């Protein structure tokens, strides 16, 4: 039985003559030439009705000619005149009643008017003869795993490294988006303040500007703001008019302040008058805080009740 089965198989195995090889290769080159030029009619004529095609793209799996041609027609503009096979190495071998063509090649794409290496490809195409014409019955194309090196099937270290790079890239992108969103939030808050400021008709309307600034700071999660104030300076009189909004009590006040009576206030005023873009910072603690509260009382300023609770 073994001898009989072996004889039966050998009886139907294709004999690869030079004539047969030339015929298959002629069809093979015509097949890929039509594909690269976007000639879908010629391309389709060399496919068997029941062909199986598997490509390197995610959706490139077809179990008949109709589905394959539909896909390649819809995407032909991506390839036609924009792709080339280079450095081609082709071998031919008989397989049962058919002929298999194996090819290794470099795949190039025309990107921004420049031919660019896309990847190293491998294609296996199985032909059989039908109605005296060679047809593709099965084809498989792939791009080798770029992670592996000589003598490897997989490279887990490179995968781990790429995953780390991906996580870092996602983290950086997240930070960039958060920063951008923060910038947009700040600009939105500023625009609301500008709108109120532009609608002022008299000095007392400054109180509404202070209130708006305070509320917008809260939307930006700046919580530790006791009060917001603006000031109009009268250097000839040594005073400024202080427009204040106190967040915790919701109180609004307008106070005339003689700024030469207290050293910290004097320093603050000098900074503002000499440097419009400047910042002034100081701190009151312990006995100095108590003196500050006493100064505010004597200067007939509003003393925020919360000052008695802070250190």
pLDDT > 70 in the chain, percent: 91
Give the model confidence (pLDDT) of 68-102 as tens digits. 999 999 999 999 999 999 999 999 999 988 999 99
Residue 25: band (very low, low, confident or very high) from pLDDT cuts 50, 70, 90: very high
> Is the pLDDT reported for residue 10 higher than 50?
no
Residue 308 is classified by DSSP as: G
pLDDT of residue 224: 82
283 membership: H or E segment, kind and range? none
Residue 255: band (very low, low, confident or very high) from pLDDT cuts 50, 70, 90: very high
> Is the pLDDT reported for residue 8 higher than 90?
no
> Is the pLDDT reported for residue 2 higher than 50?
no
Whole-number Å distance between alpha carbons of 264 and 269: 9
Bridge-partner residues for 54, per DSSP?
61, 140
Give the model confidence (pLDDT) of 165-198 as tens digits. 888 889 999 999 999 999 999 999 999 999 999 9
Bridge-partner residues for 89, per DSSP?
104
Whole-number Å distance between alpha carbons of 192 and 179: 20
C-alpha separations of 132 from 17, 24, 50, 65 in Å: 16, 12, 17, 19
Bridge-partner residues for 257, per DSSP?
240
Residue 295: band (very low, low, confident or very high) from pLDDT cuts 50, 70, 90: very high
The full set of domains in the chain, from first to last, is 2-142 (3.10.450.50), 180-308 (no CATH)
For 75-104, the three-class secondary structure string (H helix, E strand, C coil) is: HHHHCCCCEEEEEEEEEEEEECCEEEEEEE
Give the model confidence (pLDDT) of 124-166 as tens digits. 999 999 999 999 999 999 886 666 565 655 566 776 777 788 8
Residue 119: band (very low, low, confident or very high) from pLDDT cuts 50, 70, 90: confident
Residue 178 CB-density burial (10 A; 0-12 exposed, 13-18 middle, 19+ buried):
exposed
Q: Pick the range with the lowest mean pLDDT from 37-41, 51-55, 129-133, 150-154.
A: 150-154
On whether the pTM is more than 0.75, the answer is no
Instruction: Provide mean pLDDT across the span 43-47.
Output: 96
Q: Which residue has the higher pLDDT, 39 or 305?
A: 39
Long-range contacts of 75-78 (CB under 8 A, 24+ apart): 76/38, 76/40, 77/38
């Amino acid at each position: 039985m073994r001898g009989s089965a072996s004889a039966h198989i050998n009886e139907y195995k294709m004999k690869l003559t030079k004539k047969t090889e030339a015929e298959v290769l002629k069809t093979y080159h015509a097949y890929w030439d039509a594909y690269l030029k976007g000639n879908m009619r010629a391309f389709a004529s060399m496919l068997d009705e029941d062909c199986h095609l598997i490509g390197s793209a995610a959706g490139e799996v077809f179990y008949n000619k109709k589905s394959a041609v539909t896909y390649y027609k819809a995407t032909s503009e991506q390839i036609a005149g924009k792709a080339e096979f280079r450095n081609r190495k082709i071998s031919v071998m008989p397989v049962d009643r058919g002929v298999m063509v194996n090819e290794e090649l470099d795949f190039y794409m025309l990107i921004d008017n420049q031919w660019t290496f896309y990847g190293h490809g491998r294609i296996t195409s199985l032909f059989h003869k039908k109605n005296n014409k060679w047809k593709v019955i099965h084809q498989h194309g792939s791009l080798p795993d770029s992670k592996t090196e000589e003598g490897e099937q997989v490279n887990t270290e490179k995968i781990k490294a790429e995953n780390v790079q991906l996580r870092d890239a996602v983290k950086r992108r997240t930070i960039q988006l958060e920063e951008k969103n923060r910038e947009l939030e700040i600009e939105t808050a500023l625009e609301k303040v500008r709108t109120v400021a532009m609608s002022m008709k008299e000095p007392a309307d400054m109180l509404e500007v202070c209130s708006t600034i305070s509320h917008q700071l809260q939307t930006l999660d700046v919580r530790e703001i006791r009060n917001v104030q603006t000031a109009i300076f009268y250097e000839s009189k040594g005073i400024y008019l202080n427009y204040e909004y106190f967040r915790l009590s919701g109180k609004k006040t307008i106070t005339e302040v003689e700024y030469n009576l207290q050293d910290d206030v004097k320093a603050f005023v000098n900074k503002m008058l000499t440097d419009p873009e400047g910042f002034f910072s100081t701190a009151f603690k312990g006995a100095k805080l108590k003196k500050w509260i006493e100064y505010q009382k004597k200067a007939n300023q509003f003393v925020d009740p919360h000052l008695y609770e802070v250190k």
